[in-house]
Amino acid sequence: MKKLIKKEKVTDKKFIIIFILIVFSFFHDLIKDSFEKNLDKFDCSRIINLIQENKKNIEIYNNLSTILKNDDTIILENNSSIKNFVLILGESISRNHMSLYNYQHKTTPLLDTLKEEGNLFVFKDVISPHAQTIPSIKKIFSFLSYESENKKAWYEYKNLINIVNKAEYKTFWYSNQESYGKYGNIPAAIASLTNYSFFNATKEALDNDLYNAFLNTFDKNKGEKNFIIFHLMGAHASYGNRYPDNFNFFNKNDYNFKFKSKYNDRVVEYDNAILYNDFVVSNIISLFKDQESIVLYFPDHAEETLDFREFIGHGDANYSKYMLEIPFLIFVSDKLKNSNPNLIKNIKNSLNNPYMTDDVIHTILDILNINTPDFV
C-alpha cells in the first residue's frame, strides 16, 4: 500500500512539472518580449543597469589609468630636499564655519591652538575653481587651469603625481572615498600612479580610520623623501554620517538662525562634522610634527548652509560664493622652519593674497624646488 501511494504521488509531481514546462514554453516568447519592452518597470532592471554601469565605470577607470601611466614627464631641475610633503585634501569644508576664520562657534579648537603656537599658517582669501569635486580635482592634480579649460582634455596635461615620482619621492595615497565609479574614477586613476594606495570606502568608514591605516602601513614602505596624500570625506552630505557620536557637540539651542528652515538641524550636523574634521586634520599633522615636514590642507570646495537663502549643499549649476570660499592651511614643522627660513618668509608674505586652487600644482612644485617645462 505504501509503495502504491508513493508511486501515485511521484506520478502527480511529474504531471505538475510537465504541465509547468508546457505552460512556460508556450508563454516564453510572450514573457520575454514583454520584459524587454518594459524593462524599466521591473525591479530587476535596476540590478541589470547597475551591473552595466559598474562595467562601464571599470572600463573608464582602466582607460584613464592607462593614459596617465603613459608618462613622458620631464624634470628640468630637481632641488627637492624636504623629507615629507603631506597633502590633506578635504571635502565640502567651508571656512565660514571654522572658528579659525572667526566663525562664532568653536568648531576648530585644535587648529586654533596650532596657529597660536606659530606652526600653522592660515591663508585668508582662497577659493576653489568649482563647487564640485571632480572638476576641482582635475585642476588640483594637473596643470589644467580655469583659464586653459577648453584647450585640451585634463589628462593631456602633466600631473602632479608623475612629476613627484620622477623627482624621486615615494608617493602614497590614503582615501576615505570610493575607489571607482561615477565619482571615484578620476581620483582613483590618479591614485593608481602612486607607489602605494589605500582606499577605505565603506559605509561606516570615518576619516580618522586613515590615521590608523597610515600607522599600519607607512613605515615599511617609506622612502628617503615622501609625498603623502590623504583624501578625506570631510563634511560631505549626509553630514550626520561624517562623525562619531562623541562629536555630537553642538545643538540647535546654541544657534540664532537667520530664518526658520527645515534645514536648521543639518546646519548643526554640519558644524559637528567640521569639529570632527578639525580632530582628523590635527591628528594627521601630529604624525609629522617631529620630522622635517610640511603639511598642506584644503578641501576640494566648500558648502552652502543657509548662508543667504534656504539652500544646503553645493554644485556648479546653482553655485554661490559660499560653495567656493575654502580654508587653505600650511603647517610647517620646527625642523623645517629652522632649516628653511626663506620658505617661512614667503609663506608669511602670501597669507593675504587672493588665490585659487587650480594653481596649487605650481605652489607645491615651488615649495619642493622642482621645475618642469609646464611650470611657469
pLDDT surpassing 50 at residue 266? yes
With the CA atoms of 64, 182, 166 and 215 taken in that order, what torsion angle do they form, in degrees rounded to the nearest 10? -140
Please say whether the beta carbons of 294 and 86 come within 8 A: yes
Please say whether the beta carbons of 276 and 234 come within 8 A: no
Averaged pLDDT score across all residues of the chain? 87
Q: What pTM did the predictor assign?
A: 0.84
Mean pLDDT on 109-126: 98
pLDDT tens digits for range 108-117 = 999 999 999 9
Tell me, what's the pLDDT at 35? 44
Tell me, what's the pLDDT at 91? 98
Angle at 198 between CA 195 and CA 201, to 5 degrees: 150
Sign of the torsion formed by the C-alpha atoms of 218, 220, 221 and 227: positive
pLDDT band, very low/low/confident/very high, at 182 (cuts 50, 70, 90): confident
**CA 165 to chain centroid:** 21
CB atoms under 10 Å from CB of 370, counted, come to 21
Tell me, what's the pLDDT at 71? 84
pLDDT band, very low/low/confident/very high, at 59 (cuts 50, 70, 90): low
Percent with pLDDT over 70 in the chain? 83
Please say whether the beta carbons of 279 and 113 come within 8 A: no
Tell me, what's the pLDDT at 8? 38
- Picking from 316, 274, 317, the residue whose alpha carbon sits closest to that of residue 299 is 274
pLDDT tens digits for range 161-179 = 999 999 999 999 999 998 8
Report how far residue 234's alpha carbon sits from residue 270's, in angstroms, rounded to the nearest whole number.
Answer: 10
